[in-house]
C-alpha cells in the first residue's frame, strides 16, 4: 500500500484527542503530495502541523506553506548542517521573519558532530546567535543535537536561564545526562518513529525517564517512518503510531497520554 493512499487511514489508530505534529518538513514534498499529506493528517485528527526551517534557502518556503494553509505553522532557523552558510544577512532575515504570526519557534538549530557537514566552531557560533534571537524575540527553540552532548549541555546551561520560553530537543537520541539536564533546565523532549525501531532501546529508556508532562510528539517526516511502515516515506498522518508507542512505554491510557502531550505542545509553541 502506498504511504499516501487514503485507505491507509483505516489501518491507523483513532483517538478522541486531537493530535499536534510538532516537527516535519512539508517543503520536501511536491505540491500534490503536500496537499494529500495534509488531507490525511486532518482525517486522522491532526489539527496543527509545524513545518521546520533548516537552511537559508527554505526560510521563505516554509513560511509560504504556513501562510497558505490554516492548519500549518512554521519556524525560522538554520540547521547545524548549514552553519557554514550562516551570515549577518541570514541572521537579520531570521530576526525579521520570526515576527510573523505563523512562526512559533526558532529552529531547527543546534549541533551535529556526527556528520560534521559544517565546521564545529561555525555550528557553535550559528547556534548561539540563533539562541540570542529566541531570547530577544521571546520564542522557544527547536534544537537538533547529535553526538555533541558536552558542548550542547555547556551552551544550554549558559543560555537557558535567558530563554523564557525554553524549547524542545527534537528527535531525542542523546544520552541520559543530556536528557536529565535538559529537563532540569525546563526543556521538552521530542520523540518520533525511532521509538518504534527494534534496536532503539536507548531512546525508549529516555522516554521512560521523561515525565509525560515534558514530552511532545513529532514524525520528522519524510524521515524516520515508524514501524510497520519503515522503508516508505513518512508523513504526519502516521503520528498516531508514535503516540501509541509512547503511551505503551509510559504505561498510560493512550487518551490520557495524548491529552497531556497536546497540552504540552500548546504551552510550548502557542503559549496556551
- What's the pLDDT band for 3 if we cut at 50, 70, 90? confident
* Pairing label, strands 188-191, 215-217: parallel
Entry pTM: 0.97
Q: Is the dihedral of CA 214, 147, 225, 61 positive or negative?
A: positive
d(CA 118, CA 97): 24
- What's the pLDDT band for 132 if we cut at 50, 70, 90? very high
pLDDT(42) > 70: yes
**What local confidence, expressed as pLDDT, does residue 4 receive?**
77
Q: What is the pLDDT of residues 103-120, one digit of tens each?
A: 999 999 999 999 999 999
**What local confidence, expressed as pLDDT, does residue 259 receive?**
98
User: Which of 114, 55, 108, 77 lies closest to 220, judged by CA?
Assistant: 108
**What local confidence, expressed as pLDDT, does residue 266 receive?**
98
Domain range summary for the chain, segments of one domain joined by +: 16-270
Burial bucket for residue 248 (CB in 10 Å: 0-12, 13-18, 19+): middle
Looking at per-residue confidence, does 6 or 199 come out higher? 199
d(CA 232, CA 222): 9
d(CA 137, CA 38): 29
| CA trace torsion 21, 26, 28, 31 (10° rounding) | 140
- Residue 23 backbone zone (phi > 0: left; psi -120 to 50: alpha; other: beta): beta
Q: What percent of the chain has pLDDT over 90?
A: 93
What are the residue ranges of helices labelled H in the chain? 31-43, 59-68, 88-97, 120-137, 149-159, 176-184, 201-209, 239-249, 254-270
Q: Write out the CATH class of domain 16-270.
A: alpha beta
Mean pLDDT in residue range 188-213 = 98
User: Which of 247, 128, 108 lies closest to 171, judged by CA?
Assistant: 108
What are the residue ranges of helices labelled H in 169-251? 176-184, 201-209, 239-249
Distance of alpha carbon 75 from its chain centroid, rounded?
A: 10
The contacts of residue 180 (CB under 8 Å, 6+ apart) are 209
Number of separate helices (H) and strands (E) present in the chain: 9, 8
Any idea which of 30-39, 122-131, 153-162, 199-208 has the lowest mean pLDDT? 30-39
Q: Could you tell me which residues are beta bridge partners of residue 189?
A: 169, 215
For residue 271, what is its C-alpha cell? 503559549
**What local confidence, expressed as pLDDT, does residue 1 receive?**
58
- What's the pLDDT band for 6 if we cut at 50, 70, 90? confident
Mean pLDDT in residue range 176-192 = 98
**What local confidence, expressed as pLDDT, does residue 219 receive?**
98
d(CA 236, CA 231): 16
Q: What is the pLDDT of residues 52-69, one digit of tens each?
A: 999 999 999 999 999 999
Amino acid at each position: 500500500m502506498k504511504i499516501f493512499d487514503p485507505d491507509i487511514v483505516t489501518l491507523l489508530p483513532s483517538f478522541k484527542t486531537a493530535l499536534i505534529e510538532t516537527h516535519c518538513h512539508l517543503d520536501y514534498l511536491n505540491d500534490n503530495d503536500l496537499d494529500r499529506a495534509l488531507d490525511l493528517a486532518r482525517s486522522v485528527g491532526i489539527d496543527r502541523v509545524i513545518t521546520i526551517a533548516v537552511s537559508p534557502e527554505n526560510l521563505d518556503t516554509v513560511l509560504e506553506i504556513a501562510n497558505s494553509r490554516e492548519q500549518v505553522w512554521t519556524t525560522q532557523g538554520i540547521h547545524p548542517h548549514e552553519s557554514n552558510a550562516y551570515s549577518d544577512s541570514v541572521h537579520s532575515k531570521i530576526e525579521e521573519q520570526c515576527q510573523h504570526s505563523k512562526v512559533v519557534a526558532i529552529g531547527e538549530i543546534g549541533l551535529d558532530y556526527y556528520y560534521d557537514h559544517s565546521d564545529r566552531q561555525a555550528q557553535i557560533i550559528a547556534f548561539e546567535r540563533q539562541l540570542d534571537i529566541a531570547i530577544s524575540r521571546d520564542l522557544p527553540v527547536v534544537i537538533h543535537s547529535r553526538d555533541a552532548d558536552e558542548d550542547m549541555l555547556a551552551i544550554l546551561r549558559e543560555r537557558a536561564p535567558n530563554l523564557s520560553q525554553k524549547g524542545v530537543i527534537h528527535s531525542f537520541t542523546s544520552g541520559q545526562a543530556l536528557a536529565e539536564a535538559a529537563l532540569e533546565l525546563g526543556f521538552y523532549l521530542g520523540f518520533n518513529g525511532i521509538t518504534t525501531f527494534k534496536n532503539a532501546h536507548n531512546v525508549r529508556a529516555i522516554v521512560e525517564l521523561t515525565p509525560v508532562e515534558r514530552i511532545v510528539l513529532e514524525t520528522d517526516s519524510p524521515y524516520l517512518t515508524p514501524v510497520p511502515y519503515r522503508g516508505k516515506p513518512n508523513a504526519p498522518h502516521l503520528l498516531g503510531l508514535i503516540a501509541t508507542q509512547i503511551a505503551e512505554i509510559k504505561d498510560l491510557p493512550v487518551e490520557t497520554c495524548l491529552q497531556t502531550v497536546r497540552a504540552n505542545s500548546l504551552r510550548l509553541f502557542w503559549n496556551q
